[in-house]
Amino acid sequence: MTATSIVLRRLLPLPAVVQFLAVATLLTTTPPPLPAADALDEGYYAATCPDAASIVRDAMERLHYNDPTLAPALIRLLFHDCLVRGCDASVLVSPAPGRASERAAVPNHTLRGFNAVDAVKRDLESACPGAVSCADALALMARDAVALLGGDDYAVPLGRRDGTVSNPWEVDLPAPFSKLDDALAYFAARGFGAEETVVLFGAHTVGGAHCGSFRYRLTGGPNGGGGPAMDDALRCELLQTCGGAAEQGLDTDPAVFFDPDTPFAVDNNYYKQIVANRTLLQVDQEAAAHPATAAHVAYYAANPDAFVSRFSEVMAKLSNVGVIEGDAGEVRKVCSRYNT
């Protein structure tokens, strides 16, 4: 078995550890950009929980030591939270009798990291009862996940409040088979330009995807029946791992690393894979030739330090999108359920 075709059985039921381009349907209307935070402050908990960031970092180091697959999963969890209603921890709410939540939406069925968030929240509640929001905890955990995977540390201003609304029908993430133009429009509606979107795509430097996300590219001819061509050698390897056109359930469908060489490192190998036509998802491969993205892909493929630095900058921007501040929302005692 080649490095490329390593099957991620031990990661199931995770189809893409950081596949924020998850199975969903694009809305026919484009929402206005989610507002960025303007009142967050790194010293927000100076009086109520001065060690909040250290508590989270210590917990993340323990969690990462026990499960190195968790860090990519938490980055993905932040994406799924912030791109729907903003960074308000709404994705963490569990469905309850008579009340659905974002976790019930198809793109979120395979999210991981909820237990880790609950564990960190318990540590925070033990030290500072009722002080630190779940939204802030998740933002800090995602920042630490990037650092633990070799990325640059970055500042996370605090003061987010937790949302009191979580609806599955609002989960409108682009599908893995989306066209790049649709993905660019989606992220533009949330305040991200083409270059920033290319950098966000770079989250695929870690994690992987189930074969069902790209199997159509392997069948129907050398070009997979449409879209940009895939490297022939990679296509043959993936056919061995994924099989033919038969669809499988998430519990049996094999999964493959996005970057088989360094699947748990934040680096620029993802962009090198794009340039070599060795990416899994069509939307990623389209970025190599699209006039709005091709130059950015080429730049980051040739400049590893630039990508690592820029990825942290754009992650910082993502974690500030559409936050709830002031007296709005709440500070949940348990991240998976509302206070009332």
Annotated binding-site residue? 174: yes
Tell me if 316 sits within 8 A of 156, measured CB to CB: yes
The b-or-e profile of 45-72 (16+ CB within 10 A means b, else e) is: beeebeebbebbbebbeebbeeeebbbb
Annotated binding-site residue? 69: no
Distance between CA 232 and CA 218 in Å, rounded?
Answer: 10
Annotated binding-site residue? 204: yes
23 phi/psi in degrees, rounded to 5: -65, 115
Annotated binding-site residue? 29: no
Annotated binding-site residue? 84: yes
The partner residues of 209 in beta bridges, in order of sequence, read 256
Please choose, from the candidates 27, 15, 134, 5, the residue with its C-alpha nearest in 3D space to the C-alpha of residue 78: 134
C-alpha distances out from residue 227 to 86, 199, 235, Å: 32, 21, 14
Annotated binding-site residue? 231: no
Distance between CA 113 and CA 157 in Å, rounded?
Answer: 22
Residue owning tokens 């790194």: 42
Determine the straight-line distance between the first and last CA of the chain, rounded to whole angstroms: 52
Annotated binding-site residue? 170: no
Cβ atoms within 10 Å, residue 313: 13
- What residues are annotated to the active site? 80
Annotated binding-site residue? 205: yes
Annotated binding-site residue? 102: yes
Cβ atoms within 10 Å, residue 109: 13
Annotated binding-site residue? 262: yes
- Look up residue 169 and give its two tokens: 């029908």
Residue 239, burial from CB neighbour count under 10 angstroms (0-12, 13-18, 19+):
middle
Distance between CA 253 and CA 149 in Å, rounded?
Answer: 26
- Look up residue 269 and give its two tokens: 């190998």
Residue list for the binding site: 81, 84, 86, 88, 90, 102, 174, 204-205, 259, 262, 267
Binding residues for Ca(2+): 81, 84, 86, 88, 90, 102, 205, 259, 262, 267
Residues annotated in the binding site for heme b, as ranges? 204
Binding region for substrate: 174
